[in-house]
Chains A and B, each alone.
Chain A
Amino acid sequence: DVKVTQSSRYLVKRTGEKVFLECVQDMDHENMFWYRQDPGLGLRLIYFSYDVKMKEKGDIPEGYSVSREKKERFSLILESASTNQTSMYLCASSPNRDTQYFGPGTRLTVL
């Protein structure tokens, strides 16, 4: 079974803090993705990566950055958290560009 884990299920941070969300997959997938999910807006792609040290912007990259130093780990960074970044963050990995396996999600609240 594919396993995608995320570092926290729930996280509360203050405005202006630097926030790190970690995602790890154990299936040697090359492709990894970060989404946020908001009511009425659905899943929106923030960043994705098709290889180590490689990253591409998704639909809403503003305010975020990513890091992929190892194949199994893809980190999402909020340089200076803002209240409009309160959301559910979902990481996914994929052996191709089609089938994606999602982690359990991190519900981030920025106060």
Chain B
Amino acid sequence: AQSVSQHNHHVILSEAASLELGCNYSYGGTVNLFWYVQYPGQHLQLLLKYFSGDPLVKGIKGFEAEFIKSKFSFNLRKPSVQWSDTAEYFCAVMNYGGSQGNLIFGKGTKLSVKP
């Protein structure tokens, strides 16, 4: 079965530190890739997505992610985090295989940014 792995359950950073959240998936075919964010008390929001083209994708609030097909990875990055980035981040992969079009989520990474 396809799966999505997020390497860190909880990341704690100080403001202005750089962020990289890992995401790897197991499906070998064509995929669409997503990062969603869930701020405390708010609904799940789309941060960025990759469907095709430039593997370096820029999203909202200064976030970016790089699709590395050979590594089955789609890591999320931000050069300098802010306290307002405190949230839970979910990587999700949509495959075109057996479970066609199913969006498979990772278990999430909680980010806590200390002011």
Q: Do A and B come from one complex?
A: no
Q: A residues near B, CB below 8 A?
A: none
Binding site for A on B (CB under 8 A): none
